[in-house]
Amino acid sequence: MSQQRLLVVGVGSELGSLTTALLEHDAQFSDILGIDVHPPRRRLRRTTFVRIEHDEQASFVHQVVGHRPDVIVHLGVWEPHARLGTSDARIATGNYARALCDALTHLDGLSRLILRSGLEVYGAPLRQPADESALVSPTSTYGHMLVELETMLRSAAPRTATVTALRFAPVIGAHVPSPLGRLLRLPVIPVDPFSRATFQVLADDDAARAVVHAASNGIHGVVNVAAQNPIRISAVARQGRRVVAPVAAPAWRIAASFTTLAGAPLPDHVIELLRHGRNAVTGVRDLGYQPLHSTLDVVERLYSWPSIVRIGPRRDVERVA
């Protein structure tokens, strides 16, 4: 097997660090470069990390072209209200995408390009679970961001490269910043009392393994990746012993302000999921990959994480007059 040079954009995120740690075990990748605005969240033994801000396009292009990767994994996507607010997330995601597109014009020998996308590109509501042939019709800011990302990178990729767009369900993990994960951990969860919609999520380790599989095998096209067995939000609340708060359609903005005060901002793509659900299937044959954890498994893991415990002083501190 020939050795390949690998670039991981977004290596500093929890998903990026986990994915890169798994890729380091693959002997076909001989030289690994990671780029992000933050350092990796875990120890990486074979990866060279370079810190580049999302608005430093010239530096980004210089590093990528100098590395001359054979395989690129692009995880440099900021979900609104995961780590940044909606406006900043859109700017950062777009800046990294444009910088990568610029670099791709100089990489004629690229063999594989894998990029993170999401089920949000299909919009809401959906009459049936979306497969890869479903119409792309985003109805949220995050959905539009992901469609723009897919379009830009497909257009810029050289003809030598297979381009894989992994459309993930919401990724949830113990250390993954997720607006949906934060919301579900609140003691009170807003719900649409008239909705019977279901949704799917994806464990962070399953998402990482999907990226590794695509990077190692070169799947061409779009692939939906979601845990099996969709679940209703009411069932999630029962599983976590949470109280549900019915919210009528006009009052979701008010509900979002309350969840924000509680530490869980509610962007529009999460409101869509709560009201209309979000389900997908894959029509890709011979995929060779399947998530190991069901949606219920991921939810159970979500509620098994320890909560923050505030410990007061062991003794009173004497006040100095």
* 34-52 pLDDT per residue, tens: 999 999 989 999 999 999 9
Residue 288: pLDDT above 80?
no
The CA distances from residue 248 to 185, 191, 252, 266, 275, in Å, are: 21, 9, 7, 15, 10
Q: At what angle do helices 57-67 and 86-104 cross, to 10 degrees?
A: 40
Residue 320: pLDDT above 70?
no
Average pLDDT over residues 18-26: 96
| 80 CB neighbour count, 10 Å cutoff | 23
Residue 158: pLDDT above 70?
yes
The two most distant CA atoms of the chain are separated, in Å, by: 76
Kindly report the pTM of this predicted structure. Answer: 0.92
Average pLDDT over residues 69-80: 97
Give me the pLDDT at residue 14, please: 95
Residue 219: pLDDT above 90?
no
Alpha carbon dihedral 54, 165, 126, 197, in 10-degree steps, equals -80
- Residue 191: band (very low, low, confident or very high) from pLDDT cuts 50, 70, 90: very high
DSSP 81-142: TTTB-HHHHHHHHHHHHHHHHHHHTT-TT--EEEEEEEGGGG-S--SS-B-TTS-----SHH
- Residue 309: band (very low, low, confident or very high) from pLDDT cuts 50, 70, 90: low
- Residue 315: band (very low, low, confident or very high) from pLDDT cuts 50, 70, 90: low
Peptide bond between residue 125 and the one before it cis (omega within 30 degrees of 0): yes
The architecture (CATH level 2) of 4-176+201-227+280-293 comes to 3-Layer(aba) Sandwich (3.40)
Residue 116: pLDDT above 70?
yes
Give me the pLDDT at residue 316, please: 58
Counting every residue written for the chain, the total comes to 321
Q: Which residues contact 199 (CB under 8 A, 6 or more apart)?
A: 169, 170, 230, 231, 233, 273, 277, 278, 279, 295
Residue 308: pLDDT above 70?
no
Give me the pLDDT at residue 106, please: 95
Q: Which two tokens stand for residue 111?
A: 């063999």
Give me the pLDDT at residue 175, please: 85
Q: Which residues contact 193 (CB under 8 A, 6 or more apart)?
A: 246, 247, 248
On the 0-12 / 13-18 / 19+ scale of CB atoms within 10 A, 205 is middle
